[in-house]
Structure 1
C-alpha cells in the first residue's frame, strides 16, 4: 500500500497560520527599530538642545517676517508649523491665541497658498508675532518636520527645548510642555 499524497491545499491553512504567528514578533521588532510607521510622537528630535535651524526667508503677505533674531531675544517662545488646509491646525489654533498673551508665538506657513494662509489668519485670528512662509517645505526638512501641525518650544538662547508633532491640546500643553518651560526658566 502506498501512502496517501498530502495535497498542498491541505497544508495551506497551517502555512498561513505559521506566517501570521511569526510575523507578529517581527512587526514588533521592526516597529521598535523605527522601521515601521508608528507613533510619530515617540520619535525624538535630533534638534533638542541645538540652535534653531534656518528659517524661511519668504514673508506671508504683509505680515512681519519671522527672523532668527526674534528667537534669541532672551524669552522662551513657540514656533508652530501650520497650514490653512490642515484640520488639526484649525483645532489647535485657539490655544495659540491664548498662549500669545503669555509668550511670543511665531508661525511658519507650510506648503500652503499664501492667500489661503492669510485667509486662515483673517478668519481664525492671528496669534503670531511674526510669520514666515515655507511653500516648498525646504526649511521644514532642516527642522525635521514630518507634517503639520508641529510645534517647537524655543529657549531664551535660541535653542530647541521641545518638539511636539501633531495637534497641540491643553492636556499636552499642561502635562508635557509646561514642565519643560518651567525647568528652562529655572
Structure 2
C-alpha cells in the first residue's frame, strides 16, 4: 500500500515539475519582443526626411505609396546581431531590390553613428546601399524602435504591417512578405507565430 502511495506521490511531483517547466517555457516565449506588437501596426508609416551617409538627402515620399513593399531596417554599429545580419541585408539589396522597381525596396537607417563609422562599417561588410542617418534618434523615436536590429514591413499602401525585432535574412524577408500578402487580415499573434515558423525555416 505504501509502495503504491509512493509511486502516486512521485507521479504527482513529476507532473508538477513538468508543468512548472512548461510554464517557464511559455513565459520565456512570451518575452520575445515580437509578441509585443508595434503601436504603428495598421497605421501609415511615419514620414522620413534625413541626410544620407553617402551624400545627399532622403525623403520617404520618393518610395512610400509607390505600390511596392518597403523594408525598413534600423541598425547601429554597436549591435552584435547587426554584424551577423549585415551580409544577408546586402544580399537582399543586390538580388531583390536592385533587380526590379516592383520588388520590395530596402531602406537602411542607422541610429546615431557618425558618417565615418557608417562608411567604415559598410566597407568592412561590403555593403553598397545608401544609409539614412538618424543622427539624433528622432526617426527611431517616431517608429518606436526599442533596440537594434528592428525591421518594419510596410505594405504598398504605406501601412505598417509588422515590426520584426531581431535578425532577418533575405529568405526570411521574402517568405514573410509572401505570408503577409496571403493573410492581409491576420492578427498580430497569428503573424508572430508565422514569423517564428518562417524564421526557423529560413
> What's the TM-score once normalised by structure 1's chain length?
0.68
- Aligned-residue offset at 1:66: 4.8
Is contact 2:51-2:57 (8 Å) kept? no
Of 36, 39, 45 in structure 2, the residue corresponding to residue 46 of structure 1 is 39
Q: Is the 8 A contact 2:76 2:112 kept in 1?
A: yes
In structure 1, the partner of 2:188 is none
Question: Which deviates more, 52-61 or 110-119?
Answer: 52-61
Alpha-carbon RMSD: 2.8
Q: Where do residues 110-129 of structure 1 align in structure 2 (5 Å cutoff)?
A: 110-126=111-127, 128=129
In the TM superposition, structure 1's runs of 4+ consecutive aligned residues that sit over 6 Å from their partners are: none
Q: Please state how far the C-alpha of 1:114 moved relative to its aligned partner.
A: 1.7
Please state if 1:91 is matched with 2:92.
no
Question: Are 1:147 and 2:140 matched, yes or no?
Answer: no
Deviations 1:96-146 (A, max 9, x none): 222222232111111212211121112213353x43211221121110100
How many residue pairs are counted as aligned between the two chains?
151
**Structure 2 matches for 1:1-186, cutoff 5 A?**
38-62=31-55, 65-100=58-93, 101-102=95-96, 103-126=104-127, 128=129, 130-169=130-169, 172-173=172-173, 176-183=176-183
What stretches of structure 2 of length at least 5 have no aligned partner?
A: 1-19, 97-103, 185-202
Q: Which has the higher helix share?
A: 2
- When residues 78 and 171 of structure 1 are mapped into structure 2, their CA distance, relative to the original with a 3 A threshold, is closer
How far did residue 63 of structure 1 move?
Answer: 6.0
